[in-house]
């Protein structure tokens, strides 16, 4: 995660893959940051990208992946 943050700061978001950007967002405040990139890849694959993920059911994301969405 540290390397992703460093790349983001040094080179900008356009140099990161979608799953890497999502991993950074998921990793904020997470104690499982070493697995966040894998989770991001799974979520994007399951929901067909960011568009599908934004339409995913909150309760499913919470139940299956332990994600809690903030209002």
pTM for the structure as a whole: 0.72
Least confident of 6-10, 30-34, 35-39: 30-34
Find the mean pLDDT for residues 46-50: 94
Domain ranges of the chain: 2-65
Q: What is the DSSP string of 43-68?
A: HHHHHTSHHHHHTS-HHHHHHHH---
Q: Can you state the angle between helices 36-47 and 18-27, rounded to 10 degrees?
A: 120
Q: Are 66 and 60 within 8 A, CB to CB?
A: no
pLDDT value at residue 63: 82
Q: How confident is the model at residue 71 (pLDDT cuts 50, 70, 90)?
A: low
């Amino acid at each position: 995660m540290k390397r992703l943050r460093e790349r983001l700061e040094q080179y900008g978001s356009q140099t990161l893959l979608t799953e890497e950007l999502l991993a950074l967002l998921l990793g904020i405040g997470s104690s499982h940051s070493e697995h966040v990139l894998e989770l991001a890849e799974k979520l994007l694959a399951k929901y067909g990208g960011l568009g599908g993920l934004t339409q995913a059911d909150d309760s499913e994301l919470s139940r299956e992946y332990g994600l809690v969405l903030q209002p």
